[in-house]
Amino acid sequence: MLYKRSSELFAQAKKVLPGGVNSPVRAFNAVGGDPIFIKEAKGAYLYDADGRRYIDYIASWGPLILGHAYPPVIEAVVERAHKGTSFGIPTEVEIRIAELAVKMVPHIDKIRFVNSGTEACMSAIRLARGYTGREKIIKFVGCYHGHADAFLIEAGSGGATFGSPNSPGVTQGTAKDTLLANYNDLTSVKTLFEANPEQIAAVIIEPVAGNMGCVPPAEGFLEGLRKLCTENGALLIFDEVMTGFRLAKGGAQEVFGIAADIVTFGKVIGGGLPVGAFAARAEVMDHLAPDGPVYQAGTLSGNPLAMSAGLAMLTALNEHPEVFDSLAKKTAYLHKGFDKVLNEAGIPHQINSFGSMLTPFFTDTPVMDFATSAKSDTERFKRYFHGMLAGGVYLPPSGFESYFLNDALTYDDLDQTIDALRKCKL
Ligand SMILES: *Cc1c(COP(=O)(O)O)cnc(C)c1O
């Protein structure tokens, strides 16, 4: 049995952890079977409890853009830990990481650190509501902004009307303030603005979507959103929890040349420790407590351990911006290799990629929003996932996730990955 120890651990886990995991996507519900348990990781490789090695394409769902156990981050954490991990009192490292983030990312003057991407997005929405004095927000079907109530909303049958909650525990009252638009469809956004004059505080979007698989914005889409927000007095929030410090130093704002009003971060900004952040121009951020009336707080926010890890990560990226180009080239290489294998095998597919994000979809139809992403063949995905796993490649255990390449991956690793696909019985 390939995964004997992992299966034993999963049986133990299920007794004390709901579903055996602390975040649902780690379970193999979408692909079947028991999740593997990881013992350690280094560079581009994961090692499981049974001693098997995997080439890793999730990098902890994005944070580890330079590979696992990246020495400067590990050294910063170890050195800091000896001096105490949290005080609940200001420390100098908070200023240094904030200065660096503000320097790397365009259109932001001030940044507040929190402990997760969820917290960052939840707080960004509160700030937008406090700033505009309006209550409703627009989000896109298929975009994920963390698990706060306001974001767990699915389209009702009316589509562009009021959403209904898609998780028990989210109230109708909350759901009615979250309006749903379709990704890459400006008309759906315009319709919502027209139907809710002077009521929309913000539009929140993943500027390159990753949570319905990788779906890049169509030409002109983000520009159009920027224009609609400005015309209607709503704030444009770029959720860059995935794309921030991954697509470029300045994230999607830099890549597309578009200024968002609020930007949220997570994942890479913490270098593998729990960190989120939200940032904006000073005039918006000054609405936040203690300067302004919009309340937001956190016992462990900006703790020196997490900030030291984040600072080491951002410093590395700031000093080596060639990493982004190197990653984009590796991603393009994988894209091309996968495309060739799937073409030769006659398997219907679409591969979307952008920068170091990539998703293969098993469908004939170009994927540009949630509805087209959902056409992907989930049975074929299961065979693909397990075939790749047995071939020593760890992929997200769901067809609707982005791969996150890390720069420790070598071209030899990419060739081995393409070879594993060739051997898969799809
Ligand atoms: C991961 C993610 C979040 C949530 O971040 P957590 O740290 O998991 O709470 C929010 N938005 C986007 C775009 C993400 O990818």
Query: What integer is the mean pLDDT of 77-86?
Result: 98
- Cross-strand partners of 294: 288
**Residue 266 CA, ligand 1 centroid: distance in Å:** 7
185 is catalytic: no
Question: One of 57, 131, 144, 384 is an active-site residue; which one?
Answer: 144
pLDDT at 253: 98
Q: Is the CB of 272 under 6 A from ligand 1?
A: no
Q: Is the CB of 242 under 6 A from ligand 1?
A: yes
pLDDT band at 168 (very low <50, low <70, confident <90, very high): confident
pLDDT at 82: 98
User: What does the DSSP assignment read for 193-235?
Assistant: HHHSTTTEEEEEE-SSB-BTB-BPPPTTHHHHHHHHHHHHT-E
pLDDT at 354: 98
Is residue 68 within 8 A of residue 407, CB to CB? The reply is no
144 is catalytic: yes
pLDDT band at 164 (very low <50, low <70, confident <90, very high): low
Query: What integer is the mean pLDDT of 279-296?
Result: 98
- Between CA 307 and CA 273 the distance in angstroms is 9
Task: Examine the pLDDT at 268 and tell me if it is beyond 80.
Answer: yes
Is residue 125 within 8 A of residue 134, CB to CB? The reply is no
Specify the ligand 1 atom closest to the Cα of 266: 7
- Between CA 164 and CA 154 the distance in angstroms is 6
**Residue 344 CA, ligand 1 centroid: distance in Å:** 36
Residues above pLDDT 70, as percent of the chain: 97
Query: What integer is the mean pLDDT of 219-235?
Result: 98
239 is catalytic: yes
- C-alpha separations of 106 from 27, 198, 207, 255, 270 in Å: 37, 28, 15, 10, 19
Task: Examine the pLDDT at 162 and tell me if it is beyond 60.
Answer: no
Tokens coding 157:
């049958």
Mean pLDDT of the chain: 95
pLDDT band at 2 (very low <50, low <70, confident <90, very high): confident
Kindly give, in sequence order, each residue whose CB lies less than 8 Å from that of residue 157, ignoring residues fewer than 6 positions away.
Answer: none
Helical H runs in 46-180?
71-81, 92-104, 117-132, 172-175
Query: What integer is the mean pLDDT of 67-94?
Result: 98
Q: Is the CB of 145 under 6 A from ligand 1?
A: yes
Query: What integer is the mean pLDDT of 116-144?
Result: 97
Q: What is the pTM of this model?
A: 0.97
